[in-house]
Structure 1
Amino acid sequence: MGNVWARNAALFVCVVGLASCDALPRSGPSKSEIYAGSVQREGDAFVVAVDDRVTRATAVVPALGFSSDFTGSGVVGSDTIHAGDVLGVSIWENVEEGILTTAGAPAGLQDVQVDGQGFIFIPYAGRIKAAGNSPEAIRRIITDKLSEQTPDPQVMVTRLAGDGSTVSLTGAVGGQGVYPIERPTRTLGAMLAKAGGVSVPPEIAVVKIIRGTRTGKIWYQDLFEHPELDIALRGGDRILVEADTRAFTALGATGSQTRVKFETQTLSALEAIAQVGGLVSTLADPTGVFVFRNEPAEISNAVLGRSDLVGDQRLIYVLDLTEPNGMFRARDFVIRDGDTVYVTEAPYVQWTKVISALSTTVGAADSLASAATTFPGL
Structure 2
Amino acid sequence: MSAFEGALEMARRSRRPFSIALLALALAGCTTLGAPGPSTGAVKRAADQNYAAGSIKLVDLDDQVVERVSAFGVSRRFSEVFGDAAPMGTIIGRGDVVDIAIWEAPPAVLFGVTSVDARLAANPLVAQSASIPQQMVGDDGRVSIPFVGTVVVAGRSTAEVEREIVRRLTGKAHGPQAVVRLVQNEARNVTVIGEVANNRRVPLSSRGERLLDVLAAAGGSKQPVGKTTVQVSRGSTAAVMPLETVIRDSSQNIRLRPDDVVTVLFQPYSFIALGAVTQNAEVPFEGSGLTLAQALGRIGGLRDDRADVKGVFIFRMEDPSALDPAVAATARKTLDGKIPVIYRLNLSNASSFFVAQNFAIRDDDILYVSNAPGVDLQKFLSTLSNLAFSTIAIGNALN
Instruction: Confirm or deny: 8 A CA contact 1:50 1:319 kept in the other structure.
Output: yes
Q: Distance in 2 between matches of 1:157 and 1:314?
A: 57
Whether 2:330 is the aligned partner of 1:325: answer no
Check whether the contact 2:232–2:260 (CA below 8 A) recurs between aligned residues: no
For residues 194-252 of structure 1, the C-alpha deviation after alignment (integer angstroms, 9 at most, x for no partner) is 11233455455133131xx4635352445445544444334333333445766533211
Q: Using a 3 Å threshold, how does the CA distance of structure 1 residues 364 and 65 change in structure 2: closer, same or farther? A: same
TM-superposed CA distance for 1:114, in Å, is 2.2
Task: Indicate yes or no: 2:107 matched with 1:86.
Answer: no
Paired residue for 1:345? Answer: 371
Can you list the C-alpha shifts for 1:126-178, whole angstroms capped at 9, x where unaligned? 65665535499769969x98xx99xxxxx997643211222222233332111
Paired with 1:253 and 1:228, the residues of 2 have a C-alpha distance of: 42
State the alpha-carbon separation in 1 of the partners of residues 358 and 80 from structure 2.
Answer: 32
The TM-score with structure 1 as length reference comes to 0.66
The aligned residue for residue 196 of structure 2 is 173
In 2, Cα distance between equivalents of 1:25 and 1:180: 61
**SS of match in other structure, 2:135:** strand
Instruction: Give the whole-Å Cα distance in 1 for the aligned partners of 2:204 and 2:293.
Output: 45
Deviation string, structure 1 residues 335-377 (Cα, Å, up to 9, x no partner): 445542112235447635763686478548846974x77xxxx
- Contact conserved, 2:230 with 2:262, CA < 8 A, in 1? no
**DSSP-derived class of the 2:273 partner:** strand
Q: Does structure 1 residue 263 correspond to structure 2 residue 290? A: no
Q: Sequence identity, in percent? A: 24
Question: Are positions 1:27 and 2:27 aligned together?
Answer: no
Q: Is the 8 A contact 1:88 1:159 kept in 2?
A: yes
Q: Which amino acid aligns with 2:366?
A: T
- 1:311 corresponding residue in structure 2: 332
8 Å Cα contact 2:33-2:379 kept in structure 1: no
Counterpart pick for 1:215 among 237, 246, 259: 237
In structure 1, how many angstroms separate the alpha carbons of the residues matched to 2:61 and 2:80? Answer: 38
Question: In structure 2, what is the Cα distance between the partners aligned to 1:345 and 1:50?
Answer: 19
Q: 1:93 to 1:129 in 2, by over 3 A?
A: farther
CA distance in 2, matches of 1:94, 1:299: 72
- RMSD over aligned CA atoms reads 5.1
Q: Distance in 2 between matches of 1:327 and 1:307?
A: 26
Indicate yes or no: 2:33 matched with 1:6: no
Letter in 2 for 1:321: L
| Paired AA for residue 329 in structure 1 | V
Per-residue CA deviations over 1:231-278 (Å, capped at 9, x if unaligned) read: 433433333344576653321122433444553555432222223343
Confirm or deny: 8 A CA contact 1:288 1:344 kept in the other structure: yes
Residue of structure 2 in register with 1:102 after alignment: none
With a CA cutoff of 8 Å and minimum separation of 6, indicate the structure with the bigger relative contact order. Answer: 2
Taking the TM superposition and a 5 Å limit, the aligned residue runs for 1:146-185 are: 159-182=182-205
What is the rounded CA distance, in whole Å, between the counterparts of 1:136 and 1:300 in structure 2?
Answer: 49
TM superposition shift of 1:3: 4.2
